[in-house]
Amino acid sequence: MTRRRWIADEVDGNIAALTGAHADHLTRVLRARVGEEYDVVAAETVRQARLSAIQPGRVEFELGDLVPDPGVPQVSLLLAICKFDRMEWAIEKATELGVAHIVPVIAQRSDRHLTAAANKRVDRWRRISLQSSEQARRAAPPEILEPQKLREATPMLATTRILLSENEHATRLKDALASHPAAGSVLLAIGPEGGWTPGEETLFRDAGWISASLGTTILRAETACVAALAIVFSVLS
């Protein structure tokens, strides 16, 4: 039977704990009981664990053997800020698929009201990614950075950097991955509603990015995010 996985808020030796709302979800919603077994991520390792104590706002585990880590490719995402319900959905699904880093990007076609409020949403995005990581049995949630302007984000380093563009017609994403082996890491850029502007695409090219297409249809940002990550992990795994 597959054990449910939790990412500890506190670790002290062979004792790990969930606190606050994190603990309340386990006890009140899932009705956990002392003695039940789980996997717990503690200090960046996954351990078998037995629930040993339940207190108001706190759950403790006794940590046991290490759980082998299968390892996943290092894939990161520059995601242009879009409507927050769609942004949250994209972050949730990107986390489930295994993305390592998410950088919210302020693009020229990002709504100004959304970009002005984006900094206040980062904590919520991180909570969503934490919950999704536990559901997907990840060893750690992705790192979600503070929103950045595109010019600040494009120099980010990776073995292979790919711009998803509706203006690219010659190269599909899977072909770009095949022609630029990504043995180290992959960084994908997904634009806002309306796509990247010509000036932004020039900025990417000047920074050494490769352009690629997801096909002939125009996808919403959150759909493109899932489709692109699914292709990348399928090719690299």
Whose structure tokens read 């559901």? 135
Can you read off the two tokens belonging to residue 234? 């399928």
Considering the four listed CATH numbers 2.30.30.100, 3.40.718.10, 3.40.190.10, 2.40.240.20, the one that applies to the domain covering 5-66 is: 2.40.240.20
Q: Kindly tell me the burial class for residue 223, based on how many C-beta atoms sit within 10 Å of its own C-beta (0-12, 13-18, 19 or more).
A: middle
Distance from C-alpha of 183 to C-alpha of 198, rounded to nearest angstrom = 30
A 10 A CB-CB count for 134 gives: 23
pTM reported for the whole predicted model: 0.80
pLDDT in tens, 85-115: 999 999 999 999 999 999 999 999 999 999 9
The number of CA neighbours under 13 Å toward the Cβ of 46 is: 18
What pLDDT shows up at residue 85?
Answer: 96
Report domain extents, the chain: 5-66, 74-236
What pLDDT shows up at residue 181?
Answer: 61
Whose structure tokens read 């670790």? 11
CATH number of 74-236: 3.40.1280.10
